[in-house]
A and B are shown apart, each in its own frame.
Chain A
């Protein structure tokens, strides 16, 4: 009995295996064409029109689709796989079929003005590279090596200078020049400059400003002091005004004496508007208006 049951079990197991394999393996007359990169499978097998005509169209189509999909999946399983976050991923090869364009090909653009001009003049595009073969590379490497040794052993080395090279770069040269200029007793302020050389832009220092919300009272104090200084600096005595005033007074006296002479002792004209004090409105010391000021009670 046991032997029977074992045989039965084995047979059953075999049957189940066959069943499983049946679902996995598909028999076809002609093998399919696979383009796994595009996940494409082409079935060239003939379709019996008989199957199609019967009522079981849907079932036939479904079965066909299932078989072909199974074959495609089998092909995918043949590819090398890797595990990405608990999912097995197959690495697809490059797609074999060339797909048609999505959009129409671009139309040739009309040449730009420069392109037209270049064609006219026969100008070709020249690529300029910054790279120039430098023969003194070895020397530079050696120099750096020695500098590193000096630094490691704490030997003093000069700070700036030009490396002996065939072609110095522009900014290295300009930096060396500015350093040389600045290393004088007065920090380069009185160094002569070449005729067309521009004055240094003060590249080093950054300006420092007061904080935005500083001490308001100290700010006020500073401003008031500044105003006081400005006031004191302004000339209190305006020379032209004083001269004019003097001239006017003299004129008046003359006129008064003349009139006295003419009217025979009539009371002298009362003096006109006394006029301006000496510490008057100083308009920045600018030259006063021309002409003597008459003491007329004029426009206010």
Chain B
């Protein structure tokens, strides 16, 4: 386990800011405790300092996971956000997409969101903007990338993709082995 280098921190913040914008500082600087990011086996974990101090008692090969896994760095040092970060993205999300009840299941199986399944979308969403996907009952289901701007969404035909799927809570069952 080690702290992130400057480049790694930058890459991670860039990715996170796509979804939560400047609210990242609410994650970095919290009133209820000191939380930090640490890198372990290419995965980034977000934990309080208390947990960090406890985790130092484990050897590298025995330690599986600490705190919440935000994502991992690929072999080419690109940061990939995992579904386990949803709990921290959802409350701070800048752009949200609500999905109709009928299309929820489809999204949870890993499919993209079509125009026919789109309930609501935040105004001013740019194309390829990071969005957090909610159900109509405001339950966060996952996150993705907007395929069209809000304006375009109004005009396109019902079968075109409006949100590219990136991660959904169904992955907790589908990819149980690989999530840490």
Distance of A85 Cα from B38 Cα, bound (Å) = 60
A residues within 8 A CB of B1?
212
Interface of A is mostly: loop
Q: Mark A259-300, 1 if CB is under 8 A from B, else 0.
A: 000000000000000001000110110111111011000111
Per the 8 Å Cβ criterion, residues 40-74 of B in contact with A are 49, 52-53, 56
Q: Are A293 and B151 in contact, with the CB atoms below 8 A?
A: yes
Q: Mark A71-104, 1 if CB is under 8 A from B, else 0.
A: 0000000000000000000000000000000000
**Does A114 sit within 8 A of B, measured CB to CB?**
no
Q: Are B127 and A212 in contact, with the CB atoms below 8 A?
A: no
- Which one of B76-84, B102-110, B116-124, B168-176 is at the A interface? B116-124
Q: Are A216 and B150 in contact, with the CB atoms below 8 A?
A: no
Interface size on B, residues (CB 8 A): 43
**Does A227 sit within 8 A of B, measured CB to CB?**
yes
**Does A231 sit within 8 A of B, measured CB to CB?**
yes
Distance of A211 Cα from B3 Cα, bound (Å) = 7
Per the 8 Å Cβ criterion, residues 125-155 of B in contact with A are 126-129, 148-155
A residues within 8 A CB of B14?
230, 284
A residues within 8 A CB of B18?
283-284
Nearest Cβ in chain A — how far from B19, in angstroms? 11
B residues within 8 A CB of A300?
120, 122-123
Q: Are A227 and B22 in contact, with the CB atoms below 8 A?
A: yes
How many A-B pairs have beta carbons closer than 8 Å: the answer is 94
**Does A213 sit within 8 A of B, measured CB to CB?**
yes
Closest to B28 in A: A223
Q: Are A226 and B9 in contact, with the CB atoms below 8 A?
A: yes
Q: Are B2 and A210 in contact, with the CB atoms below 8 A?
A: yes
Q: Are A224 and B124 in contact, with the CB atoms below 8 A?
A: no
Q: Are B38 and A212 in contact, with the CB atoms below 8 A?
A: yes
Residues of B within 8 A of A (CB): 1-3, 5-6, 9-10, 13-14, 17-18, 21-22, 24-25, 28-29, 34, 36, 38, 49, 52-53, 56, 94-95, 120-124, 126-129, 148-155
Could you give 24 example pairs across A and B, Cβ below 8 Å?
A209-B2, A210-B3, A212-B1, A212-B2, A212-B3, A212-B52, A216-B34, A217-B34, A223-B13, A223-B28, A227-B13, A227-B22, A227-B25, A227-B28, A280-B124, A283-B129, A286-B126, A289-B149, A289-B150, A290-B152, A291-B149, A294-B151, A298-B154, A299-B150
Residues of A within 8 A of B (CB): 209-214, 216-217, 219-220, 223-224, 226-227, 230-231, 276, 280-281, 283-284, 286-291, 293-294, 298-300
